[in-house]
A and B are shown apart, each in its own frame.
Chain A
Amino acid sequence: MRLAFREALRSFRRAPLLSALSVTTIAFAIFVVGLFGLVALNLNRALREVEKRVEVVAYLMRGTPVEVVTVAIGDVERFPEVADVTYVTEDQALARAQKELVELQGVFDDLVSNPLPASLEVRLKPGFRDSDHLRDVAERLRGFRFVEDVRYGRDWVIKLDRIRDLTAIGMLVIGGAFAAASVVIIGTTIRMAVFQRSREIAIMRLVGATDGFIRLPFLLEGSLKGALGGTFALGLTYVAYVAFDRMLLRAQFFNPAEAVVFVVFGFALGFSASLAAVSRHLKSVRPA
């Protein structure tokens, strides 16, 4: 193992240009995936912000006693989908309307009695904020005797569902395509490194080195290059993020755990690409 490590380092020293090239290639490949990840991440967070506003409003019949409402709130809060329930009394509804609809101030002043019903505003837990769950909850709320009507922005929520699905699919397709491209690019650079050392490999085999022994320095080299490339990619992505955040829109960066994924991803890419390249090479020189 120590020997393999030494051999891996030797190849860095011997072919600094090719090594730098592979690391840079890996870095840029992962950088592109990282940028996309960053967009997806921020899109997702924005989406979740919007989702928070998803709520079901149950309008109560005029004159429903507060005690009844209190019991009902307890029941609704026990729905598995429900995050919280807010009781808006008739007076509160009017106050809110007056504040929000300033243009109609005069109309409110002329009112003799409050035309606005009391309501329960039900917000759902994350993960339940889609149209199917909303419909379920709305159905159940309609079952209460004192509930007059239930409203939720159905069309709007369906649109939200669609955006969510599209981002997920887009993320998978584009991210997957870039990841696949980077695997190919990394595979090529590692194959170049293997090819450059085919003479050495031939000599190693001649003096009785096992395939495992021959592979090890390449795997180490590939993994190291991959991890290094991943680290650079993380740096590049961070620079891109800072630029975007300062000049265009407030955005969010990956948390530390997500950032580590860059390095791990690079490592895994480097490892698998070099494994494939070396194994293929060894197989091609084996007697039939």
Chain B
Amino acid sequence: MIRFRNVFKAYPKGSLALKDLTFHIRKGEFAFLTGHSGAGKSTVLKLIFAEELATSGSVQVSGYHLASMSTRDIPKLRRRLGIVFQDFRLLEDRTAEENIAFTLEVTGARSSVIEPKVTRVLAQVGLAAKALAYPRELSGGEQQRVAIARALVNDPFVILADEPTGNLDERATRGVFQLLRDINANGTAVLMATHDLDLVRGTPFRTLELQDGGLVYDSAVDRPAAETES
């Protein structure tokens, strides 16, 4: 579903951000992406949602070969992904509801389709009561829930989360993490970059650890037979 093969990434006038990265995330899987600051976690996610292009090697996301993909197909790909960031990236002048609806409006959906979907995802993230609140009226945890609701509303096959709990306190972190687990339990894959090792420890999920752009540990490496095409 998401497949990296010998991926290298060099930023212009930067050193190598990714070195010979090969891994495969299966459909419906929950995986952590860990590593020190600057290890390349965000870069991996950016390659997946086509914000950056690999310098060499191949990145394949749900049938799209990102190297040969036309820029016109990028929006199509992104509509099938849910992307969540540490800094939420909500539009400040729109309510929670409008922020989520915006994602669907962008695809040209009718309001009759948009409304029930927005209501559903807001309920799913436990914010039905805050539909009309503006981001500044919400706590960090709540804002991140809105961002997750926005990521969910297109029924993505994977949620890509870059340090989604990085700005949150302990309690909000647990809440957001639980939400991502629930989403995963419903069949959506989750790839979450984090350096919160406490969070990673004690969960049954796969962990990919990066170090200086190289994959140094993959908890799934013991069972490579389970890696099948999706």
Contact = CB atoms under 8 A, between A and B. Distances in A.
14 contacts: A14-B93, A203-B90, A206-B78, A206-B83, A206-B89, A207-B102, A207-B154, A208-B77, A208-B79, A208-B106, A208-B154, A213-B108, A287-B50, A287-B51
Nearest to A286: B71
A210 B103 contact: no
Nearest to B54: A287
A2 to B, nearest CB: 10
Contacts, number: 47
A111 interface: no
A209 B53 CA distance: 19
Contact of B106 (A14, A199, A207, A288): A207
A203 B72 contact: no
A204 B52 contact: no
Nearest to A214: B106
Contacts of A205: 75, 78
Interface string A7-20: 00010001000000
A200 B52 CA distance: 19
A204 B52 CA distance: 17
A234 B72 CA distance: 41
Chain B's interface size range is 20 to 34
B162 to A, nearest CB: 11
B107 A208 contact: yes
A207 B53 contact: no
Interface of A: 3, 10, 14, 199-200, 202-210, 213, 286-288
Given A203-B90, A205-B78, 10 more contacts: A14-B93, A204-B102, A206-B83, A207-B106, A207-B150, A207-B154, A208-B76, A208-B103, A287-B51, A288-B53
A203 B91 contact: yes
Contact of A200 (B49, B72, B91): B91
Contacts of B224: none
A199 B49 CA distance: 17
A10 B91 CA distance: 13
B105 interface: yes
B197 to A, nearest CB: 28
Main secondary structure of the interface of B (DSSP, over half): loop
B202 to A, nearest CB: 32
B116 interface: no
B67 to A, nearest CB: 11
Contacts of B91: 200, 203
B93 A209 contact: no
Contacts of B89: 199, 202-203, 206
B143 to A, nearest CB: 13
Interface in B25-78: 49-53, 71-72, 75-78
Contacts of A287: 50-53
Contacts of A199: 89
A213 B49 CA distance: 19
A138 B154 CA distance: 83
Contacts of B150: 207
A162 B91 CA distance: 61
B121 to A, nearest CB: 13
B12 A207 contact: no
A213 B53 CA distance: 23
A210 B77 CA distance: 11
A207 B51 contact: no
A65 B226 CA distance: 119
Contacts of A209: 75, 106
Contact of A210 (B75, B93, B154): B75
B93 A207 contact: no
Interface in B72-113: 72, 75-79, 83, 89-91, 93, 102-103, 105-108
Contacts of A210: 72, 75
Nearest to A213: B106
A8 to B, nearest CB: 14
What are the nearest 10 A-B pairs in CB distance?
A208-B79, A208-B78, A209-B106, A207-B103, A208-B75, A210-B75, A287-B53, A287-B52, A203-B89, A3-B105
